[in-house]
Amino acid sequence: MTTRTLRRWFVVHKWTSLVCTLFLLVVCVTGLPLLFSEQIWDTFVGDDDPPYEVLPPGTPNASLDVIVEKARALYPGQIITNVSPDDDEPAVLISMAPSWQALKDDENYPDRNSGHWIKFDARTAKVLEQSRPADAPKEPRTWTGIIMGICNRLHTSLFAGLTGRLFLGAMGGVFVASLISGTVLYGRFMKRLPFGSVRRDRASRLTWLDLHNLLGAATLIWATVVGFTGLVNELQTPLFGLWRVTDVRQILRPYANLPVPSQDHLSSVQAAFDTAAKVAPGNEVTGLSFPGASFGSPVHYVLWTRGATPLRARLFTPVLVDARTGELTGAYPMPWYLRFLEISRPLHFGDYGGMPLKILWALLDVVVIGVLVSGLVLWAGKRKIATDARLRALGYDLDDAEGAPVSALTGEGAR
């Protein structure tokens, strides 16, 4: 490596690190409580749902058609928007609204919510719980809800919507660039020192440098994976938008101008679930949207199926069933870029291996915070010194002629 090349790598590492450090600190700190969000909610909020009726083991679930009809009887004149079996409990969530137009109007008024839901026992079809009416006074938010909401919005968008998401995605790319440049510098710097050396008998600045290098090298693979998958996750809105205006529009083009049929004359919801389960073997059906839903079809049930294993649980395949006749229209696996997006999610969140993996992710997150803080300390201590002087202070030998190879100042020279 020549002196000129070393200078360039150093400048790249310095500025890519400085540009993204503050935002990465925000992301790392807010990511810790989000890792354990389920445990936090269970501890500080608890579960006030009514207990399930004790039934003999193996009791079959009630037909979804029976549950749908009970929901309609409770709110005659309203429409059903979604049917969602619960993942972990024997329950089915029915989402309803006064009309599709009311839901469209809600999009223009963030504080308005015309929709509501009813939670049924999947085995007995009895009502377990309902959401509060739209015109009822809102329940006061708990401190847990406020704090977790702030953490989530800071972590995903910095309270700036799509612009914030794209900005954080760019910061993820800059972070990956800083990791690559840091690896190049570290490999050159540690050429003659044993891996993991921390020179505590020298100036504190060298100790901070060694700790920064060691922690960065130890978490390099994890930080690269999490940084890159974070970049991919922030692109979910434009990627799903691309899918909707390309593949989805092409699939639904023959039905785009058809009127939405009355829900009183639709085919069986239970049969649609059974059809989707057959056409996507090995997948589980997670929900159904009625004709007329946003980004859906005016005449189809849209059923979402996903893989049954932890790593495949985020790979969704939509299935279209004609709601007028009950016939299968087709199953449409997502394009490669959305499948790549969905596969990247568990790698970013660490939520596919239970509590041990969450703890490991949290420990690595704390170590990365240490890398970021130590990098700030190194920059703050010598921020007014020229690049060559700083490289010498950090242990690089720049006394060779321009263009000659540069070696790390280690061994006797470093002492």
Note the pLDDT of residue 118.
Answer: 95
pTM of the predicted model, to two decimals? 0.79
Per-domain boundaries in the chain: 3-37+152-233+353-393, 64-141, 235-349
CATH for 64-141, options being 3.30.365, 1.10.3470, 2.40.50, 3.10.450: 3.10.450
Give the single-character DSSP code of 96. Answer: E
Highest mean pLDDT among 182-196, 342-356, 391-405: 342-356
> Which tens digits make up the pLDDT trace of 270-298?
999 999 999 988 889 999 999 998 778 99
Cα atoms found within 13 Å of the Cα of residue 99, Cβ hemisphere only: 7
Higher pLDDT, 138 or 376: 376
Burial class (CB in 10 A: 0-12, 13-18, 19+), 370: middle
The C-alpha angle with vertex 215 and arms to 211 and 220, in degrees rounded to 5, equals 145
- Token pair of 333, please? 């696996």
**CB crowding 132-152: b at 16 or more within 10 Å, else e:** eeeeeeeeeeeeeeeebeebe
Distance CA 343, CA 402 (A): 47
Mean local confidence (pLDDT), 9-25: 92
> Which tens digits make up the pLDDT trace of 193-246?
677 677 777 677 778 888 888 888 889 999 999 999 999 999 998 999 899 889
Listed residue (272, 286, 307, 314) closest to 87, CA to CA: 286
Mean local confidence (pLDDT), 320-349: 91
Higher pLDDT, 220 or 392: 220
Helices (H), 235-335: 236-243, 249-252, 269-279
